[in-house]
Amino acid sequence: MHSIEIELHPLTGYQNKPLRSIKFGLPEQWDELTADQILAIAPLYFQRMPEMDFKLHCLACLLPARTGAYLRDEEILRLLPCLDWLTQDVSLTKQNFREIYYGLSGPKDGFENMTVAEYITADQYFCQYLQDEAEEDLHLFVACLFRPIANKRDSSDKRAKFSQDATGYLPKVKRLKPAFLLAQILWFAGCKRELCELYPSAFPKPHEEAPEQASEGGGWNKVLFYIAEQKLFGDFANLTENTYIHNIFSYIDSKIEQNNESTASDKEPERFENDV
């Protein structure tokens, strides 16, 4: 969090009042944003506007109430570089929207309780929305993630079990705020990027820099289905219901790393005493 202290100038008509300074904090990464700030920024992110205008609008959302009216133009320009991270990689992984509207419960931070089938299906709608920006794909995407509460005592996942047919939840999802729906796109993009960092062997190439550019699934759907068909984690029904996505990618990552180490050792030349 950036710690900012600025001397405020008086408003017109109040010049006789003494100057004072104000201290406040500005987030310096996506996961420091509050739920309200994410809701304010998400629609701006998907608008086609110049970078400077985007940061100015975001700054207005992040400043304490009525502070902007006291800031000089030079002070505003001085603050804008503090928001450069908003125009770089989306790294939002905190899920601040759980059990909010109409009894729907959402996923946990960083795909913690995301199952394989849920990830595959949500990722398909995610990519389709980024390509076509169809409202139907956005609704179906969110319906994969936010589902009715089935077990309030389940600390790992209170949501109803995932079903590939999410149309039953659409009436409730369509009542959610558009800003909330777009916030989930940003969150999903950030979590996908985190997978690359957590499992570098499984993801040798990072995703694109912005979620609207990350419109290709990267072929991982086929990999996941292959694992299911080979019954590496049991039959596919069991895989769908019980296996979390992190377990799968952890397995893939370790196997690739073991294979790379084995391949490297096979290529090492034989050493003889005379060579020393």
Which pair of tokens denotes residue 134?
């169809």
Structural domain containing residue 75: 2-87
Do 82 and 6 touch, CB atoms closer than 8 A? no
Last residue of a domain, one of 87, 114, 140: 87
Give the SS3 label for residue 129.
helix
Which pair of tokens denotes residue 103?
């009894």
Residue 4 has what pLDDT? 72
Residues 80 and 124 placed together within one structural domain of the fold = no
Asked if residue 96 is part of any domain, the answer here is no
What φ, ψ does residue 156 adopt, rounded to 5°?
A: -80, -35
Asked if residue 266 is part of any domain, the answer here is no
Of 150, 206, 205, 139, the residue nearest 175 (C-alpha): 139
Residues 161 and 248 placed together within one structural domain of the fold = yes
User: Which range, of 77-81, 123-127, 233-237, averages the lowest pLDDT?
Assistant: 233-237
Q: How many domains does the chain divide into?
A: 2
pTM for the full predicted model: 0.80
Higher pLDDT, 208 or 41: 41
| pLDDT, tens only, 35-82 | 999 999 999 999 989 999 999 999 999 988 767 666 778 888 888 999
Residues 128 and 9 placed together within one structural domain of the fold = no
| pLDDT, tens only, 5-46 | 677 666 544 455 555 677 777 899 999 999 999 999 999 999
Which pair of tokens denotes residue 249?
């990618």
Residues 81 and 122 placed together within one structural domain of the fold = no
Asked if residue 264 is part of any domain, the answer here is no
